[in-house]
Amino acid sequence: MTQNPEAGRVCVIDDDAEVRGSIGSLLRSSGFDVALFEGTEAFLAAGVPNVASCLVLDVRLPGENGLDFQERLAGQGIHIPVILITGHGDIPMTVRAMRAGAIDFLPKPFSDDELLRSVAAAIDADRTRRAGDAGNARLNECYRRLTPREREVMGFVVTGLMNKQVAARMDLSEITVKIHRGNVMRKMEAQSLADLVRMAEVLGVRDESIHRYNI
């Protein structure tokens, strides 16, 4: 089957060349873009993919084991969904992996369908995360376009204050507040007050305003 870049990239780390190759063949035959590595440092040297991806990671590796590497990735802020595989799994190991954020923990031998389902779920999760990150980046970009006065107005507005109340608190005319409020809505690309409130919650603006102004 021809690989489909939109299907996502699967990185496989396993020191057993036969297992590594078998997993790679299965994934490629299902249309995934696949990168194979015999160790963790080779994976890091290649760089984390900039597309929706996941990591199929063997627990038993020379030197740093898969569980330690999973925790190292999280500690370094490297966000890639992890599917751990092992021929010597136990309950404590599984619990540790899941608490560290693993998508799945597959004991060998696992079926082709089990692995493919886990990989599909992991890539979907990464795709969702990336979309959220892109949305948040856009939101922060819009917020940076606001003037200090517009940010202050936004902070009041999202707490539920009317224009007249904001004007009184800021010692401005109501028409001036209305103009600032319109600028905020336009620059933030908000379609409604509810939309602006949601944006403020993501940005932390609302909580900051409550603390700052004791609203």
The domain limits of the chain are 5-134, 145-213
Residue with tokens 């009317």: 162
CATH number of the domain located at residue range(s) 145-213 in this protein: 1.10.10.10
Task: Return the ∠ at Cα 196 (arms to 155 and 142), rounded to 5°.
Answer: 85
The number of beta carbons lying within 10 Å of the beta carbon of residue 124 is: 15
Q: If you compute the radius of gyration of the chain from its CA atoms, what whole number of angstroms results?
A: 24
Q: What is the pLDDT of residue 212?
A: 55
Closest C-alpha among 141, 145, 70 to residue 101 = 70
* Residue 196 and residue 154 in contact, taking contact as beta carbons nearer than 8 Å: yes
**Count, residues in the chain:** 215
Dist. CA 64–CA 57, nearest whole Å: 12
DSSP class per residue in 138-188: HHHHHHHTS-HHHHHHHHHHTTT--HHHHHHHHT--HHHHHHHHHHHHHHT
The answer to whether 27 and 119 have CB atoms below 8 angstroms apart is: yes
Domain spanning 5-134, CATH class: alpha beta
Give which of 5, 69, 18 is closest to 42, Cα–Cα: 69
In angstroms, the CA 183 to CA 81 distance is 40
Rounded to whole angstroms, the Cα distance separating 113 from 130 reads 26
Please report which helix (H) or strand (E) contains residue 56, including its range. Answer: strand 53-58
Which among 77, 58, 66, 72 has a CA at the least distance from the CA of 15?
58
List per-residue pLDDT tens for the chain, 215 residues long.
Answer: 444 556 789 999 999 999 999 999 999 999 999 999 999 999 999 998 889 999 999 998 888 888 899 999 988 888 899 999 988 766 777 778 888 778 898 988 899 999 999 999 999 999 998 888 878 888 889 999 999 999 999 999 998 899 999 999 999 999 999 999 999 999 999 999 888 998 898 888 754 544 555 54
Bridge partners (DSSP) listed for residue 107: 86
